[in-house]
Structure 1
């Protein structure tokens, strides 16, 4: 059962009419399941500097290797992925401060 919605985001650099470059996200919504991070994975990721805060499960067909996720007004960076079966993929994410 897919009970949550997240935004998969790709960072894009767009230049305005004056030539000033601005970073912005191009997003699209997909259904997901929020999963808990295991204690072991949390501590191992903390030691590597990429503290995994949350795991999202989405359909593989929906995921196009986006590096950012926006969920409940927070921006996350995808640290690693894990295919759980032939249809689903887990996105292991760290909290990202600011836009980038």
Structure 2
């Protein structure tokens, strides 16, 4: 049974008004963070080893309430940042987030 005692921070990037400043340097990306309750889940052996073949290792999974998740692709769990590799609808209220190393964000899912 789900206890909803774990916490995950959902991170979204705010759009900068302009990509570059007056001097031609890139503006820093601003982030918006929200911490919500979740249920951490274990990653099975089969899923872990199959994901290694793709080069995007599934490192963690967790369930969050659908009302809390707004499509963020970066999260922080247990002090470490992850990229949301995929989502899976569990039921009308719950969505499962499959997480991988943050470096895969640049490569696209």
TM score, norm. by length of structure 1: 0.85
CA distance in 1, matches of 2:30, 2:69: 19
2:81 is aligned with 1:75: yes
List gaps (5 residues or longer) in structure 2: none
1:25 Cα deviation from its structure 2 partner: 2.5
Q: CA RMSD in A?
A: 2.1
Map Cα deviations across residues 4-49 of structure 1 (whole Å, 9 max, x no partner). Answer: 1111011345479x91411243111110011000111111111111
Report the equivalent of 1:6: 8
Matched, 1:44 2:46: no
Return the alpha-carbon distance in structure 2 between the equivalents of residues 50 and 11 of structure 1. Answer: 22
Distance 2:34 2:98 in 1: 18
Task: With the length of structure 2 as denominator, give the TM-score of the two structures.
Answer: 0.79
Query: Which of 66, 84, 87 pairs up with 2:90?
Result: 84
Determine the C-alpha separation between the residues in 2 that align with 1:60 and 1:11: 20
> Does the 8 Å contact 1:15/1:21 carry over to 2?
no
> Which residue of 2 is the match for residue 56 of structure 1?
62
Structure in which a larger fraction of residues adopt strand: 1
Count, aligned residues: 98
Tell me whether 7-16 or 55-64 shows the greater mean CA deviation: 7-16
